[in-house]
Structure 1
Amino acid sequence: MAELRVGLGDRSYPIHIEPGCLDRVGAELSKSRIGNRYAVVSDSNVAKLYGERLLNILDSAGISARMFTFVAGEENKTMATVTDLASQLARAGYDRHDAIIALGGGVTGDIAGFLASAYMRGIPFIQIPTTLLSQVDSSVGGKTGVDLPEGKNLVGAFYQPRAVYIDTEVLQTLDDQELLGGLAEVIKYGVIWDEGFFMFLEKERERIFSLAPEVIVDMITRCCAIKAEVVAEDEREGGLRKILNYGHTIGHAVEGASSFQLIHGLAVSIGMVAAARLSILKGTLAQDVLDRITSILISYGMPTEIPGDLDRAEIKRYLKTDKKAVSGKVQFVLPDKIGSTYITDDVSVDLIDQVLN
């Protein structure tokens, strides 16, 4: 089993990466005793796929657990869902000596982590991510939260899990769109941090799409290692960690303007190209680098253009409420070469309009 650690002092935690490690979660938790009993939080889709299996695994290890579900979909990543789940935990008698297991994708991890940060003023939680996007990105680093009508993730907390268990076998149940959404985040890591990894992704596309176990484990391990290094240096996004938002500023706005019909990862793909185009306009990126970023995204079957039917004014409205804005100025993560980015708020409305149009 590949194991990494997110180095945060007394809040450090392991990331376990291995095909089939879901079956060993019960044995692991029986040794660590993170909680007296566990509330497994999952959406209505993942609960059907893996909920009963996980409960049986925990029961076989002598661990008490119950399933708590919410209706699947980004539109349910709200305070109302968190409140409902908290009420269910309270009625079931869960207390501050118990723990939560987030079983699912990024939406589930965000909701369950935020719930854990607030319930009884904070109880432990564990991440078991079941989508590629959550395995390589959202399950690591402690960002939790929910959406508001004004924008994504505007209410939340930095709250680290006690452990992350990444079973690469569960990716077999992903549909093509969800797989692509995760791969967009994977490519992001190559652009912002590691040209060698970017070259690996250019070379191994066919084996990645076939979910070849050794390639998938290597790919996920590299993504988690990059994120763990960044988070260990800047847990609360005061500086370096902001580079992880590459593609997300315009991507989130496009996602919101689509009424979340465009899934997160594919919106990030569009956002990465848009950010690279901004860098071209600012004179800080060579055209051949933009071409290379665009080419790899297209080769993986991802969108690179903002859909023509999306209201540009609505996209700009979402940009204004971006949670990374400082004193009303939106911050952009822009590439200057493969493996390197910089952060700036010096982007004029005119440049944004050129990219959006």
Structure 2
Amino acid sequence: MNLNFFPSPRLARYTVWLYVSRSLAVLLSLSMVLMMLNLLSESGKILAVSGNGEAELWRYVGYRFPQLIAFAFPFSFLLGALITFTTLNQNSEVVAMKAAGLSAHQLLAPLIAASIGLAGFSFAFNELVVVDGSRQLAAWDGNDYKPVPPDSGILSNVWVTAGDDLVQTRIVTGRGAGVRLRNVRLFERQDNSITRIIDADRGRPYEGGWMLEGVTIYDAGMNVVLRRPALRALEGVEPQRFTLAKVDPDAQNFVTLQRNIGEMERAGVTTATAETGFWHKLSQPLSTMLMPLLAAMAAFGLARSGKVLLRAAVGMALGFAYFVIDNFAVALGNVGAYPPLLAAWAPFLLFLLIGETVLIRSEE
């Protein structure tokens, strides 16, 4: 077996340049189109809030655009690989490379090596840019695009049970004894019926319970509305119940998510969603490495046979099948039907074997 995967550095640089340049062009174009469509759907909600204007629209773009780049990243490199391979095939450059002694794996090796580097960039981009923007956007959207406190630990729209009662808080900030709640709504229930609805502007931990401030109480039994400056409630509800009730893997970096999983395990909270998201943070960027392998069908076969378009369609179908199965496996992992490690890595390993099998049987 010939293990020299880079026999011609010049050809390697040429194919990598074609692959990366076309993929980045697709990524930029696709992200901008998605951004414009998304901004059209959300701009009305943003501008409906008093005081919001053009600056808030640009703020939304700053939060949302990195998310769209991360979403479109593997799709774009699949399309970029298909464009590159189809062009090389139609210009008979693949035939020339194979006539010079290059095997199918030697043709693909530079692109896969470049994809591994791009996967590292994707992981760093997600951890340093996308995570923070996702957290800030979730909190801002959860507060109906009204101003939110500038806190790095923001959670939005959190639900917690307290005995038979239900608690919803729109904004949660801080950790431990420093947890603060904003826009709290407490549903007090008795015999499966709501007896009182308590709305509060703010909440803070206080002597084993919570002190709610700016309180409005609707009493269903007396059908009256009462207002109080403060009210003690939620006895025995620890602050970590609010910080661990909604652990969003997309809004937390790798280290923070790992720490929260440990806290959830100690608190007896189910960790299926958090663990699946934790492992998917590693497998998702590496999906870029699969794209040249799955798109390789478009590179081989004679252009004059008239089957280049069919081969490209098969490569695209393989790529999109991977994304569908990956999302399905993650959904099963989130509900605990799959072990988190299997849910995150099984689609990657499955399509790695499928791509290799197709490549070996058809070209090697």
Q: TM-score, normalised by structure 2?
A: 0.21
Larger helix percent: 2
Q: TM-score, normalised by structure 1?
A: 0.21
